[in-house]
Homo-oligomer: A and B are copies of this chain.
Amino acid sequence: LKEEERRTAVPGVATGLAVTGAGGDVLYIEASLADEETGETGVTLTGQLGDVMKESARIALSYLRSRGAEMELPVGDLKNRGVHIHVPAGAVPKDGPSAGVTMTTALASLLSGRLVRSDVAMTGEVSLTGRVLPIGGVKQKLLAAHRAGITTVLIPKRNEPDLDDVPAEVLEQLTVHVASDVREVLDWALEPATTGQTVAA
């Protein structure tokens, strides 16, 4: 089992791509729901997230709170169960809006109990209405995905021109999907529901 398969082996985890001081990197967005019996409510965000990234988490939550029912997600679960979004590694500061699609996907996975496809990494800002907005660092992010053995990446449609900057030998080993609405991302990245599958968290 490869690292990204182990990390995304439960619902609530999606693989993202980030730009760091030393090029790009793969990161995991983890989401959990408190057991209703614990009485925990509210939202907890950890992983030394900066202001912009915390706002991305708030946007992902509000998007699902306002649109999730249309997608048949059990959004009522958000009422009595605390949501926690964490981005390891715990000591590394992270910021920026480009984890929006990854956060939305992790939360939709958590609510639906459907796993996120383990071969996929994604990047893209999400607006409150679900538009996928362009981000920076496409080249570094695709190189990082490739280095990590990921075979499929999702980027915003408006970032398609940036694929010209990615070395051809990397691009030919990656399947690149583009999206302009986060609903397309969810349709594509979530595994089908398994009959009898239990929501894991």
Q: Mark A residues whose CB is within 8 Å of B.
A: 6-7, 10, 12-13, 28, 30-35, 37-41, 44, 46-48, 51-52, 55-56, 58-59, 62-63, 65-69, 75-76, 78-80, 82, 84, 86, 88-91, 96-97, 100, 125, 127-129, 131, 133, 201
Choice from B34, B51, B58, B78 contacting A65 with Cβ under 8 Å: B34
Choice from B35, B39, B65, B79 contacting A68 with Cβ under 8 Å: B35
Q: Give Cα A33–Cα B56 distance, bound, in whole angstroms.
A: 17
Most B C-beta atoms less than 10 A away, residue of A56, A59, A125: A59
- Contact in complex: A63, B32 (CB < 8 Å): yes
Most B C-beta atoms less than 10 A away, residue of A10, A80, A129, A133: A129
- Contact in complex: B55, A128 (CB < 8 Å): no
CB A164 to nearest CB in B, in angstroms, measures: 22
Q: In the complex, what residues of B have CB within 8 A of residue A31's CB?
A: 128
In this complex, what residue of B is CB-closest to A84? B62
Q: In the complex, what residues of B have CB within 8 A of residue A39's CB?
A: 41, 76, 78-80
Q: In the complex, what residues of B have CB within 8 A of residue A33's CB?
A: 66
- Contact in complex: B48, A52 (CB < 8 Å): yes
Q: Give Cα A86–Cα B127 distance, bound, in whole angstroms.
A: 8
For this complex, 5 residue pairs linking A to B, each with C-beta atoms less than 8 Å apart, are A39-B80, A46-B59, A58-B84, A62-B86, A90-B100
In this complex, what residue of B is CB-closest to A89? B133
Q: Give Cα A179–Cα B137 distance, bound, in whole angstroms.
A: 35
Given the contacts A7-B129, A129-B7, A82 and B62 also touching, CB distance less than 8 Å? yes
CB A129 to nearest CB in B, in angstroms, measures: 5
- Contact in complex: B76, A37 (CB < 8 Å): yes
- Contact in complex: B90, A129 (CB < 8 Å): no
- The 6 A-B residue pairs with the shortest CB-CB distance, nearest first, are A39-B79, A90-B97, A34-B65, A30-B128, A86-B128, A46-B55
